[in-house]
Amino acid sequence: MASRKCLLFVLPLIWVVLACTCSGQELFFASTPEPVVLIATPTSLPEGAIAELDAEDALLVNLYQRANPAVVYIEVLVNDEETLLPFTSGSGFVIDTRGHIVTNDHVVEEANAVQVVFSDGTVAGAQVLGRDPYSDLAVVRVDVPSERLVPLELGDSSTLRVGQRVVAIGNPFGLDGTMTVGIVSALGRTLPAQVIQSSGRFSNPEIIQTDAAINPGNSGGPLLDTRGRVVGVNTAIRSLTGVNSGVGFAVPVNTVKRIVLHLIEEGIYHYPYLGISCQSGLSLAELEGPLELPVTSGVLVSEVITGTAAAQADLRGGDYEVAVKGVQVKAGGDIIVAIDGYELRDFDDLIAYLVRETEVGQRVVLKVIRDEEELEIPVILGERP
């Protein structure tokens, strides 16, 4: 009986302990402390820094307000039996109060009719005055009162530097008045021109590369510096998808200034022409070792086109072929190392110099290495076919 009484006594005690323990657990979970809420306070900036940021914003806002009225939406119409139908669209910008608008050649090349839409919604018919597929530039003209035209100032693309901020305004995907901001990401690029003649493929030199977002519909719109001056004409993108990938290209404004006046007055631009072809894809530095060349920079002449300025000056092309890095190279020809004292790194340099510094009928002097002998050969430049 004693042990039974002890058991009876112990059981209530265990029950009390268990009850207290459970009660404590319930109290513990019910009384979890409130989470501490931390309020993140931004690190304060000095008033001077804030003022600088506000000034940058104000600069871009002001630039857009000044430049956008000069940027137009260009709609291209083509004939479909007896009806004009929309075909493609792009951008352009006003350059004077006489109604002249610059755009890309590839925007208007198929046009049977062109309509221009201004930023205020005004619509005007336009006449294509001139086109140049080599530079991908064209000029159209609208007949509207001069007071309604807001021309953009043309800058100087020779002063551009990599890292400089630039602004693109245009109509990507038909979204009129779109502004994007970026930098000049490279200079001196070369793009293939749209045309291929029997005498070869031509290139568009000294192209500006930018990471300002450029998409289909931006073509023909201006690339501006932060003062609102045109430094280029947006013309192409490099992309595997057809949309912006951070690499866009613009024709430099100095090319525009050189060519546009001729397009207005004559409808075409006359390019100087030397009449040679050279090996593409390999630099002279890559060819120097395998071909035992005496120099590592310049232009190795592969072929001289019959009847051209180069042929008349007796320049010599290659006379045998050698495989270099799996590419058949025509070797044995002249190496042009300078033109009018301007040293050449490669064929792109030669093209850029001819386009930038010369004209049809001009006399130039080529410094040429032939059979390890240095010659100076005068050439009267012809006209590109």
Q: Both tokens of residue 190?
A: 């070369």
Q: Exposure pattern of 161-188 as b/e (b: 16+ CB <10 Å)?
A: eeeebbbbbbbbeeebebbbbbebbebe
Catalytic residue among 91, 157, 219, 302: 219
Q: Both tokens of residue 288?
A: 């120097």
100 as an active site residue: the answer is no
371 as an active site residue: the answer is no
| Residues contacting 99, CB < 8 A, separation 6+ | 141, 142, 143, 144, 146, 149
C-alpha to C-alpha distance for 299 and 277, rounded to whole angstroms: 9
C-alpha to C-alpha distance for 264 and 286, rounded to whole angstroms: 43
136 as an active site residue: the answer is yes
Element holding 24 (H helix, E strand): helix 2-30
The answer to whether the CB of 331 falls within 8 A of the CB of 294 is no
Catalytic residue among 132, 136, 176, 211: 136
What are the helix (H) ranges across 31-116? 47-67, 105-108
Q: Both tokens of residue 213?
A: 């977002």
Q: Which residues are part of the catalytic machinery?
A: 106, 136, 219
